[in-house]
Structure 1
């Protein structure tokens, strides 16, 4: 694809520069990779980063750190999504910078991004912009923030994907392993084994993440209150919904709503 090759050329044509891109260039492109590491910041919506092994969900006011040469493609389904991409030359920093991870945008990082909000294009060594952006990068590993942990494993098993699609459409129901196995024409043991061998996760864990992802979408895109959202995704207990949301996102649903409305 011509646009894809152009993107990779733009990112990697100056190996030693830091590149800032504010256009939504990477959205809906096929899987690709580049020689620079990438800081992808999301504002105003929920982005979906797909890799060979997992789908990563990046809510508003969060960022994802992508190591160099890590195949990925970006998807989204909200109109007000705003993304900033900053590509850094690989400096073999190790640790934090060698692992893909999603984190909240801290107050310090937000202030640094606000200061550089009009910057765009390549910045080379020797410029004060390069030094500022390098400092921004170094700050990331010092904040010791908790990773955002919703990472859905993927599979090319068509039978399992059909089951998952059916689950997505019935999240408001009282779904159980037994009822799902019965509807799929499988034994509980076979369905359990299918999730474990193909996705390396239990049915319950996968269902919980699907429900919280749907809750994030409803919080962002509707005027439903938290009780209504809880019922809409299959929770009869608002406390259980809030606790599971916090377990996976490190914030309460009300905190997520406040963050999403900024």
Structure 2
């Protein structure tokens, strides 16, 4: 269920459904839909939690959430402008059953914005079905520019305090010794559990946190790239730029051109 709205997506008996809102809000609870959904952020940014992973959905990016995936969304943006398109999934293509976050190429952006004309239309429309089916069929081709910005949420409760501390202090130069003390685990134990649960080393996890936070700040258009570099814990603009490129495959200034 989408917060503050009178419609339940699973009660809409049509294959595809467009939902557009200027100031979108969601219930901060985990839920799922029988339909898959494409979320486009035109203004602001969203955090998505899907199947135990946290994703950042920056401005001018889309997320594909598979059918029946347990998820929730939230944002700290003052203004959020979203469009969501729900799809029945009938194809066996693996793309439609995996989470994907990717930048919006110009063609897809125009298609999504054109689809706004059908927002909250619960009646069957042949033109709408044909258009949205074409968009749906092309999505695996658009995902060629995909970026994967996610952090796995550990299931092992022994890591809870350490992960919370890390998420709140990602700008500091932390070591495993710090997390070991907070979690009351031996250094050897926390190193093993951390890598198993997150799939990342501490330095890589911290890098992802910093880059995700910097994308949020870049999207706000309130600070220079240099200011953001220091805000998220880097000691120089060059160090931030190198780190950003290693994750995103392009520079912070290139990212700003897309939003």
Match of 2:16 in 1: 18
Decide whether aligned partners of structure 1 residues 232 and 14 sit closer, same or farther in structure 2, where only a CA change above 3 A counts.
Answer: closer
Output aligned runs, 1:90-129, within 5 Å: 90-122=89-121, 127-129=126-128
TM value normalised by structure 1: 0.85
Question: 2:193 aligned with 1:177, yes or no?
Answer: no
Query: Does the aligned pair in 1 maintain the 2:100–2:143 contact within 8 Å?
Result: no
Question: How far is the alpha carbon of 1:126 from its aligned partner?
Answer: 6.2
Show the counterpart of 1:138.
Answer: 137
Structure 2 stretches of 5 or more lacking a match?
A: none
Q: 1:2 to 1:167 in 2, by over 3 A?
A: closer
State the aligned residue count. 258
- What residue ranges of structure 1 are gaps of 5+ in the alignment? none
How far, CA to CA, are the matches of 2:249 and 2:221 in structure 1?
22
SS of match in other structure, 1:40? strand
**1:131 deviation in Å?**
0.2
Match of 2:166 in 1: 167
Greater displacement, 19-28 / 134-143 = 19-28
Deviation at 1:123, TM superposition (A): 6.4
Preserved contact between residue 18 and residue 124 of structure 1 (Cα < 8 Å): no
Residues 66-93 of structure 1: per-residue CA shift (max 9 Å, x gap): 1111111111110211111111122124
Distance, in Å, in 2 between the alignment partners of 1:126 and 1:259 is: 33
Partner of 2:151: 152
Structure 2 residue aligned with 1:71:
70
Give the direction of change, closer, same or farther, for the CA distance of 1:61–1:25 in structure 2 (3 Å limit).
Answer: closer
What's the offset of the Cα at 1:185?
5.6
Structure-2-length-normalised TM-score: 0.86
Q: Is this contact kept in 1: 2:101–2:149, CA < 8 A?
A: no
C-alpha deviation, 1:15, in angstroms: 4.1
CA RMSD of aligned residues (A): 2.7
- Gap change, CA 1:205 and 1:53, over 3 Å in 2: same
Q: 1:40–1:85: 8 Å Cα contact kept in structure 2?
A: yes
- Partners of 2:227 and 2:162 lie apart in 1 by 26
Q: What's the CA shift string for 1:180-227, capped at 9, x where partnerless?
A: 545666543233123123323211111111111121222233633222
Is the 8 Å Cα contact of residues 45 and 60 (structure 1) preserved in structure 2?
A: yes
CA distance in 1, matches of 2:202, 2:123: 49
